[in-house]
Amino acid sequence: MTDCLFCRIAAGEIPTDFVYEDDDVVAFRDINPQASVHILVVPRRHVPDLTAAAEDSDLIGRVVSAVAKVAADQGVDRSGYRSVVNTGPDAQQSVQHLHVHVIGGRQMDWPPG
Ligand code: DGP
């Protein structure tokens, strides 16, 4: 059994409601939401971060496709949404498995903190 939290969620070992899933990607609500819509889009296959995923254009494409579907399903594709990939310590990546935050449902500020 892996000790990677998002591998375990994707494999169904930790009961989690998926708002979207396909053969390669799952999406579920962030446990600490920063807006009314805050979904994490996660590849099933373990990839530690965006840098590690950069050479797998198929995987990146499937994740981005899922982000767009989730945004539409959540009703924020027209109003807008922020997609965030934190990579490494300075960005405060806390789970070492690639994930895209899809955040929407409110006006946001820029630049981020
Ligand atoms: P990041 O800082 O970019 O690595 O974001 C990790 C996110 O994962 C953070 O916003 C909280 C979320 N998270 C951590 N543990 C769990 C969990 O067990 N379930 C869910 N749904 N989200 C989690």
- Establish whether residue 15 lines the binding site of ligand 1, counting it when its CB lies within 6 angstroms of any ligand atom: no
**Per-residue confidence band for 61, with pLDDT thresholds at 50, 70 and 90:** very high
CA distance 67 to 17: 17
Determine the atom of ligand 1 nearest the C-alpha atom of 38: 10
Task: Please tell me which residue in 38, 97, 99, 101 is annotated as part of the active site.
Answer: 99
Into how many domains does the chain fold?
A: 1
Q: Catalytic residue at 99?
A: yes
* pLDDT score of 1 more than 70: no
- Establish whether residue 92 lines the binding site of ligand 1, counting it when its CB lies within 6 angstroms of any ligand atom: yes
Structure tokens at 1: 């059994």
Determine the atom of ligand 1 nearest the C-alpha atom of 86: 3
* Residue 112 included in any domain: no
* Residue 82 included in any domain: yes
Q: What is the pLDDT of residues 2-52, one digit of tens each?
A: 899 999 999 999 999 999 999 999 999 999 999 999 999 999 999 999 999
Q: What is the pLDDT of residues 62-108, one digit of tens each?
A: 999 999 999 999 999 999 999 999 999 999 999 999 999 999 999 99
Strands (E) across 17-64 are located at 18-21, 25-29, 37-43
CA distance 84 to 92: 12
- Looking up residue 99, the CATH number of its domain turns out to be 3.30.428.10
